Amino acid sequence: QVQLVESGGGLVQAGDSLRLSCAASGRAFSNYHMAWFRQAPGKERDFVAAITWLGTSTYYADSVKGRFTISRDNAKNTLYLHMNSLKPEDTAVYYCAGKQKWGVITTTPADFGSWGQGTQVTVSS
pLDDT in tens, 77-121: 999 999 999 999 999 999 999 999 888 899 999 999 999 999 999
Q: What is the pLDDT of residue 26?
A: 81
SS (H, E, C) 88-122: HHHCEEEEEEEEECCCCCCCCHHHCCEECCCEEEE
Reduce the DSSP state of residue 29 to 3 states and report it: helix
pLDDT in tens, 2-54: 999 999 999 999 999 999 999 999 879 999 999 999 999 999 999 999 999 99
